[in-house]
Structures are given as structure tokens and as C-alpha cells.
């Protein structure tokens, strides 16, 4: 899951000189993920992983890192 998220983020949303060096807990917001990128990321995750990520849960803590994203998606799957 994280590999698919990372591939999408660095291919479509954020320019990073060395995405392979970007860690699972590194800050995506500091790296340049903006509000439009967050919406595109949510649409990708919902389609790719067959989940619904509630609008009420769109907050920085859920999209700050690859680990946070994975946790949010896993919670949505089990809900």
C-alpha cells in the first residue's frame, strides 16, 4: 500500500529530487503536498484501495506521512 501511495505522490503531486530517500515518517506537507494535492491523493486512495475516506477526517495528522496515510486507510477499511 505504501509503495503505491509513494509512487502516486511523487509521480503526480510532489517534486522531490530523491523520492527513494523519502522516509515513511517524513513530512509530506513540508515536502510540498498542498490542499489540491491532498484531494487528488484522497481520490486516488479511495479508488485504488476501495475505501471511503470521510471528509470529516481530512486533517493534517492523517496525511502528514506515508505511515499516517496507511493508518487512515486501514481504519477506513475496518470501519
Tell which CATH architecture fits domain 2-15+24-78.
Orthogonal Bundle (1.10)
Cα atoms in the Cβ-side hemisphere of radius 13 Å centred on 16: 23
Dist. CA 36–CA 23, nearest whole Å: 22
The predicted-structure confidence for 17-27, as pLDDT tens digits, reads as follows 889 999 999 99
SS3 category, 50: coil
CB 57 within 8 A of CB 15: no
**Domain spans in the chain, listed from the N-terminal domain onward:** 2-15+24-78
Question: pTM of this prediction?
Answer: 0.92
DSSP 25: T
Cα–Cα distance list, 60 to 29, 30, 56, 65 (Å) = 8, 11, 12, 9
pLDDT digit string (tens) for 22-70? 999 999 999 999 999 999 999 999 999 999 999 999 999 999 999 999 9
Amino acid at each position: 500500500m505504501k509503495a503505491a501511495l509513494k509512487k502516486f505522490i511523487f509521480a503526480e503531486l510532489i517534486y522531490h529530487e530523491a523520492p527513494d530517500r523519502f522516509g515513511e515518517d517524513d513530512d509530506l506537507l513540508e515536502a510540498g503536498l498542498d490542499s489540491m494535492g491532498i484531494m487528488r491523493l484522497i481520490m486516488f486512495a479511495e479508488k485504488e484501495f476501495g475505501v471511503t475516506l470521510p471528509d470529516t477526517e481530512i486533517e493534517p495528522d492523517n496525511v502528514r506521512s506515508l505511515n499516517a496515510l496507511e493508518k487512515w486507510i486501514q481504519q477506513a477499511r475496518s470501519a
